[in-house]
Amino acid sequence: MAVVRVPEQKRKIDDPAEVTAFLAEADIDYERWTPSRPVSDSASAEDVLDAYRTEIDALKARGGYVTADVVDVKPDTPGLDAMLLKFSREHWHDEDEVRFILEGRGVFHVHPKDGPVFAIEVEKGDLIRVPRGTWHWFDLCADRRIRAIRLFQDVAGWTPRYTESGVDKGFEPVCLGPADIPARA
C-alpha cells in the first residue's frame, strides 16, 4: 500500500481510502492490483503481463495506452546510477507515466502547480498513473530494486523534460519501508 507524505505540512497519509482520495484530488490515479492467478517473483515478463492482462487491458482502453512492458532494475544493473540520475531531477513527460509495481520500492515526488510538493512511496501491488505534464521526480529506496509493468501511449513521448527548477534538491528521497536509507547517488 502506498504511503503519501507532504513534508511542508509534516503530514503522512497511510490510510488506503485517504491515500486514494488525496491522489485523486491531485489528478493521480492510484489502484491496488492482484493477479488473476498466482505469479512468482521470478516469472518471465510474458507470464507477468498475462497474469495482469485483465487490469492492463482495462487501463489500456481507458487511457489510450498501446504497449505494456516490464522493467527490471537491480542493484547490479549496468548503468544504474546514470539511469537513476535521469529520473531523480524534476521533469515532466508528454505522456502519462504509468507504473504497476511488481517488486521493490520507490518514491515519486510530485510538484503540483498550486500546492506543496508531496511524496508517494510505492510498493508491490501499487498502480500509479502520473498524468502527462505533471512535474515530478523518482528515486529508488536503499535496496535499489524495482520491477514494474509500464504502459505507454507512445514510447517516444516518455522522454524526460527537465524543469531545472532546483526544487528537487530540497527533498530527501526517504523511504519508510523496510529500506529507509536514501538511494540517491
Shortest distance, position 92 Cβ to Fe ion, whole Å: 7
Shortest distance, position 86 Cβ to Fe ion, whole Å: 9
96 binds Fe ion (CB under 5 A): no
Greatest CA separation found in the chain? 44
Shortest distance, position 87 Cβ to Fe ion, whole Å: 6
Residue 49, Cβ neighbours under 10 Å: how many? 16
Q: Which of 11-19, 63-71, 93-101, 111-119 is the region at the interface with Fe ion (rule: CB under 5 A)?
A: 93-101
Residue 91's Cβ-side half-sphere holds a number of Cα atoms within 13 Å equal to 20
97 binds Fe ion (CB under 5 A): yes
Query: Binding residues for Fe ion, how many (CB under 5 A)?
Result: 1
DSSP letter for each residue of 98-116: EEEEEEE-EEEEE--TTS-
| Phi/psi at 10 (5° precision) | 50, 45
Q: Which of 31-39, 43-51, 67-75, 95-103 is the region at the interface with Fe ion (rule: CB under 5 A)?
A: 95-103
Nearer to Fe ion, 39 or 89 (CB): 89
Q: Which helix (H) or strand (E) segment is 22 a member of?
A: helix 16-25
- Using CB atoms, what's the residue nearest to Fe ion? 97
